A and B are shown apart, each in its own frame.
Chain A
Amino acid sequence: MSDIAAARLSEAELARNFADIHPPLDARTARIDANRCYFCYDAPCMEACPTGIDIPNFIRKIATDNVRGAGLDILDENIMGGACARVCPTEVLCEGACVRTAQEGKPVPIGALQRYATDWLMASGEQPFKRAAPTGRKIAIIGAGPAGLSAAHRLALLGHECEIFEALPKSGGLNEYGIAAYKVPDDFAQKEVDFILGIGGITVHHNKKLGRDIHLADLRRNFDAVFIGSGLGAVQALGLKGEQIGGLYNAVDYIAELRQSKDKTALAIGRRVVVIGGGSTAIDIAVKSKRLGAEDVTLVYRRGPEAMSATEKEQEFAQVNGVTIKHWMRPVAIKTNGANVSGVEFEHTKVIADGGLTGTGDMVVIDADMVFKAIGQIFVPDPVCEEASRLDLHNSKIAVDETYATSIEGVFAGGDCIDGNIGLTVAAVQDGKLAAAAINEYLAKK
């Protein structure tokens, strides 16, 4: 019998497990940490930030207690600076590049300082952005995720009117439906959305899905430009028999459910959980399973630790949370017991001459009550492409040029859905920002 049950932990334990993993800095600690920054020239941390925030400048302003100035430096370049401060894998971005990492293995805590400044500004209740004079131009935006919101904010700032069409009932994209709950607790995603929309000139239409409720041809007719920020649609299949069986889940679906659940004691989790994948989604679902009360959580990845797209810090985080990580194993069969999974059969792997992977023939079964697939999401071109057969794809994602223009005139795209995007919140925000600038130029010429 598979053992899947809700309320493995008490309400209090669950509340603790899903609270802020990195509590905010207090003013004193923030100042001390800020004073560790050297105010580097042409700072390496800044080069490593996909949105190019002027990090030394904002940190110096924290040190001088010019926190408003610090917050504005951040939001000027990255309107989701608050979310990014919480969810960016800083160890491979700004903090990884910080000269104090090279000097003493201990970076300036840029993410935490960024959170300090943006929290301060958002808590002040001020709307610091003033829109340029109205241009009379209207832009349609598909998707209220980081890419769409970032584009909308910048376009609104430049004086344009934006209408966002979002398939789901809430805005925020994966900030709301995907990112680990303990990274963005207290409804932060919605607070940030409100802050962004506070600039004015942006209307969001929820439950409006491109391809179902709205159509590209109409948008192109009724708007001066269109921006697609629809993210990735579906989860990749394992390509095994029995993928429809009970107890086998897409990690992102379960995460979305968890993110939306008001009562975590109602969430059923297996006693023994197997997670298949090596990215941050795999880490997230493994840790969450543990924090929901699963007894054994095993994360299985087909290559070694350095090949995992989850950072070293994320892997360590899973391990201190009691997740067992097994490497060099690939799934070959789902084991079932009646209508439910009972385990996964893995084959050990090794690298062959050309760097490819091969099975060793050595099999092992890991028993499980619940199995999560976290082997990456893919872009689902259907709704968009059905709408417009001329939309070129590249590497199965939307192809754009350096101005974020797609193959269809007046239609731009950015975020997870475009080819070349690295799949982080911060990258989606940067795409949205740059695409907005490109749209602005396009409109000026039109």
Chain B
Amino acid sequence: MADLTYNFAGIRTPNPFWLASAPPTDKEYNVVRAFEAGWGGVVWKTLGEDPPIVNVSSRYGAVNLGGQRMMGFSNIELITDRPLDVNLKEIARVKKNWPDRAVVVSLMVPCEEEPWRKILKKVEDTGADGVELNFGCPHGMSERGMGSAVGQVPEYIEMVTKWCKQHSDLPVIVKLTPNITDIRVAARAAVRGGADAVSLINTINSIVSVDLDVMAPTPIVDGKGAHAGYCGPAVKPIALNMVAEISRDPECENIPISGIGGIANWRDGAEFMALGCGTVQVCTAAMHYGFKIVDDMTTGLSNWMDAKGYQSIDDFRGLAVPNLANWNQLNMNYDIKARINQDLCIKCGLCHISCEDTSHQAITAGRVNGARHYEVVDKDCVGCNLCMLACPVDDCITMERVDKDKPYMNWNQDPRNPLASAAE
């Protein structure tokens, strides 16, 4: 049986699946239910200064896709709307009753040293395992100079992280906003500030839909909408890329990463780990289905690790990172052609029309003995994968490698490159 325990920047957790700072971790009631269900840890819903903020009614919006609900999810909620004291008392009690679970506290106070110093002391007194600095919230708090307003300015990230390291011995996780152009700049600032880890992504600025009758973006609050934070399965590709950018950035110095964004099952989690994450955090999937989904996450990861022969998370963590290269390092001699398995083909014609109308006219639509027949024209096929992706039948179209005996040659070495240097 695989060992799912992990030591994340000094924070011990029985498994790498945590609940992200959000409504699922808003209070003791939820967190206890989550721990009963088997979650390894929580990042408590972001605490701020008193008086607590006030939320609006009508808070969430969603993108549904092909009959599946909440493929994308958005919200205009702020940080916790409960008094600081109440949260701190509950955090202390939860940690005392669940000593083996990771309890991290998310924080967001104004960008001044004193408020950070004060709140850190209070959090330390609860016995919590660490803090996460919410530099990500893209709505409501950013207009008040907090959240992503800090996360978008590398100097602020560095400064606040330094204060936190200075005023507390707790591990400090810096939660990054994806609402920037280069995630590495923000991550490097956190590293410079002395952060013990980073977590990402927070939500993405979005408008999930426009109600064409009301003529307003959703979710609608009395006829008006605000831009909302986007998350859920739809954002996973964006999050994976940002995680990978940090993982392979030398200036980020292998900082521990907690991956967040669209994680709904064990496989999503394993993908984040393959790109370097030590733990992963979940919000939308839990808000959709409840805490029980963690059972698939832990058993699925464990079964997969057993099948692969991985004994611990670190056995496979980051294994995909070296295979993420810059485009100019890819092999220009690599050549694949589409292959149609005629026995599996159901004659829908999608491979033909996708290639014919939008790619390289490399699949013919003909008739053989009167029956519809689709055939790849090798000389025209550039190996783009489009037909394989469009084909509704699994494994019906596969790509076959045909560049036998040709050596590796990247774009810098390619004679077709006007700027090619033989020196590479």
Using CB atoms and an 8 Å cutoff, list the residues of chain A in contact with chain B: 27-28, 35, 39, 41, 56-57, 60-61, 63-66, 68-69, 72
Contacts and interface: CB of A to CB of B under 8 A. Distances in A.
A69 B394 CA distance: 23
Given A28-B394, A35-B68, A69 B299 contact: yes
A66 B289 contact: no
A69 B290 contact: no
Given A57-B292, A60-B265, 16 more contacts: A39-B289, A39-B290, A39-B292, A57-B296, A60-B289, A60-B293, A60-B296, A61-B296, A61-B300, A63-B265, A64-B300, A65-B300, A66-B299, A68-B303, A69-B296, A69-B299
B267 interface: yes
Contact of A64 (B68, B265, B289, B292): B265
Contact of A41 (B68, B290, B303): B290
Nearest to A60: B296
B267 A65 contact: yes
A111 to B, nearest CB: 21
B68 A66 contact: no
B295 interface: yes
B412 to A, nearest CB: 39
A72 B299 CA distance: 10
A69 B265 CA distance: 13
Interface in B286-328: 289-290, 292-293, 295-296, 299-300, 303-304
Nearest to A64: B265
Given A66-B300, A69-B303, A57 B289 contact: no
Contacts of B73: none
A64 B394 contact: no
Interface of B: 68, 265-267, 289-290, 292-293, 295-296, 299-300, 303-304, 394
Contacts of A56: 292
A247 B274 CA distance: 69
* A interface, over-half SS: helix
**By CB atoms of chain A within 10 A, which of B68, B290, B293, B303 has the most?**
B303
A72 B304 CA distance: 14
Contacts of B296: 57, 60-61, 64, 66, 69
A68 B299 CA distance: 9
A57 B394 CA distance: 25
Contacts of A68: 299, 303
A64 B303 contact: no
Contact of B293 (A27, A35, A39): A39
A380 B402 CA distance: 72
Contacts of B267: 64-65
B90 to A, nearest CB: 24
Nearest to A56: B292
B308 to A, nearest CB: 13
A60 B295 CA distance: 10
A66 B295 CA distance: 11
A57 B295 contact: yes
A28 B300 CA distance: 18
A54 B154 CA distance: 48
A39 B300 CA distance: 17
A66 B293 contact: no
Nearest to A61: B296
A69 B300 contact: yes
Across the A-B interface, give the 4 residue pairs with the lowest CB-CB distance, nearest first: A66-B300, A69-B299, A64-B265, A68-B303
B280 to A, nearest CB: 14
Nearest to A29: B394
13 contacts: A35-B68, A39-B293, A56-B292, A57-B295, A60-B289, A63-B265, A64-B265, A66-B265, A66-B266, A66-B303, A68-B303, A69-B296, A69-B299
Contacts of A41: 290
A69 B296 CA distance: 7
A46 to B, nearest CB: 12
A57 B299 CA distance: 11
B122 to A, nearest CB: 36
Nearest to B265: A64
Contacts of A27: 394
A69 B295 CA distance: 9
A122 to B, nearest CB: 16
Contacts of A28: 394
A14 B290 CA distance: 50
Contacts of B266: 64, 66
A28 B266 CA distance: 19
A378 to B, nearest CB: 44
A65 B265 CA distance: 10
A68 B267 CA distance: 14
A70 B289 CA distance: 17
A61 B289 contact: no
B206 to A, nearest CB: 25
A116 to B, nearest CB: 15
Nearest to B288: A39
A367 B334 CA distance: 76
